[in-house]
Amino acid sequence: MRNRLMFCTLAVGWAAFLMLAEEKKPVPESSKPLPGAVMPISTGYDIAVVDIGTTGASPSPVYAPVITLKNMGQRTINRTVEFNYTCNGFQLTSGEQATVALAPGQTYVWRGGMLHENMAKPGDLMQAIVDPNKKMLDDNRANNTLSKRIPQLISPPIAK
């Protein structure tokens, strides 16, 4: 019994020693911030491209781009935003602008007009980029770009 008690006491003491030793290990240099480094501060602004599509075969304009932007941040975005649109790797528009007033969670849908007609058809790969020149405060630039293939149209079966 005495041996067991002594063993348990030694085991508990050793475990306590290891825990204390673990706490006092120095922080590796690679995980310390560099002197004078600025840590990013959240601005509360985040605008994202959440969908891309087309106006379809009708009504006019046909196959013009439709781009949906969403305020994913915690602050209202009230300004002119800029975006670009590409199709199959070719830049079709540059510097398109829309004046938006978006509360957090709200969306804005931009529809291309007659100038943008027939720019994207079923099967094409479309891409939209909001704030391509990084003029806006934005906490998450990873969601500023969206690529999407326009679905192929499926014809209804012919009645016999």
Average of pLDDT values for 102-113?
A: 93
Contact 63, 113 (CB under 8 A): no
Whether 80 is in a domain gets the answer yes
Domain holding 21, by residue range, is 2-30
Confidence (pLDDT) at 8? 54
- Cβ density class 39-55: b for 16+ within 10 Å, e for less: eeeeeebbbbbeebbbb
Whether 101 is in a domain gets the answer yes
Confidence (pLDDT) at 68? 95
Evaluate if residue 7 carries a pLDDT over 60.
no
- The strand order across the sheet containing 77-87 reads 90-102, 77-87, 125-130, 145-149
pTM of the model as a whole: 0.69
Q: Does residue 88 or residue 160 have the better pLDDT?
A: 88
Domain with 95 in it: what CATH number?
A: 2.60.40.10
